[in-house]
Amino acid sequence: FVFIIGIACLFFAYHQHRYVHLIRSGNEAISEKRFDTQTYDQAGNYWLARRDILTTNQGMLAYTASNYTRAAEFFRQASQHAAQPEIEEQALYNLGRVFVELKDVERAAHFFKAALRINPNDHEAKFNLERLYHFVLVKKGRSGEASLEQAPGAGDNPNGNQGTDGQGRSKPKSDI
């Protein structure tokens, strides 16, 4: 009986090791800008796979590849099936970033607000929401030409330069 339990534990450990290796390979693909989702697809077939994390990571791959409609699909799935509020908040924030890229400011504002309902201390969501209101929604009524690129002090962020792309726009969150 002990021998069978030992074999089962070894099998489970190998299974989890392979799963973690696939996730790590997928994360490397994001950082190296290789738009390969095969490792995440393979990891999704494993027992106890975290679908919410896998779809969030696939959304990051799509976002990095500028495939914003596909990224929105992945982030929406992740937000709907998130096992933890942190992952749901991250997916909603990333949906806001996608809709900023798609120039759909009302939907972007909606998702930043939803992220802030989960985590009222999310400084990047606050920063992006304020920027949307001030430089797009409010200014649009006055001049009709305001855009997201007109943020004051382009490149400045209340959190230092962390998370910005050098143009005053923050990047999507990918810290899972």
Do 96 and 108 meet the contact criterion of CB atoms below 8 Å apart? yes
Question: Is residue 160 assigned to a domain?
Answer: no
Residues 6+ apart with CB under 8 A from 90: 56, 78, 115, 173, 175, 176
- Predicted confidence at residue 168, as pLDDT, reads 39
Same domain for 33 and 88, yes or no, is no
pTM of the model: 0.65
- 157 is a domain residue: no
Amino acid 90: pLDDT: 92
Helix, strand or coil for residue 147? coil
What pLDDT, on the 0 to 100 scale, is given for residue 127?
Answer: 92
Long-range contacts of 77-84 (CB under 8 A, 24+ apart): 78/52, 78/53, 81/51, 81/52, 81/55, 82/52, 83/50, 83/52, 84/52
Q: Are residues 55 and 125 in the same domain?
A: yes
Nearest to 63, CA basis, from 72, 71, 55: 71
Looking at 8-17, 111-120, 131-140, which range is the least confident one? Answer: 131-140
Question: Is residue 168 domain-resident?
Answer: no
Residue 136 · residue 147 · CB < 8 Å: yes
139 in the same domain as 82 = yes
pLDDT value at position 54?
Answer: 80
Question: Do 70 and 41 reside in the same domain of the chain?
Answer: no
Same structural domain for residues 68 and 58? yes
**Bridge partners, residue 170, by sequence:** 164
pLDDT confidence of residue 107: 92
Q: Please indicate, yes or no, if residue 14 is contained in any of the structural domains.
A: yes
Domain match, 42 and 59 both: no
Does 115 share its domain with 131? yes
* 35 and 106 part of one domain: no
What are the tens digits of pLDDT across the range 99-111?
999 988 889 999 9
- Examine the domain organization and report whether 71 and 118 are in the same domain: yes
174 in a structural domain? no
Domain that holds residue 42: 1-49
**Within-domain flag for 16:** yes
Q: Tens digit of pLDDT for each residue in 34-55?
A: 666 666 666 666 556 677 878 8
Has residue 139 been placed in a domain?
Answer: yes
Query: How many domains is the chain built from?
Result: 2
| Residue 163 pLDDT greater than 50, yes or no | no
Do 40 and 62 reside in the same domain of the chain?
A: no
- Quickly state the pLDDT bin for 144 (edges 50, 70, 90): very low
Q: What is the CATH number of the domain that holds 67?
A: 1.25.40.10
Give yes or no for a contact between 151 and 135, defined as CB atoms under 8 angstroms apart: yes
In DSSP terms, which residues pair with 164 in a beta bridge? 170
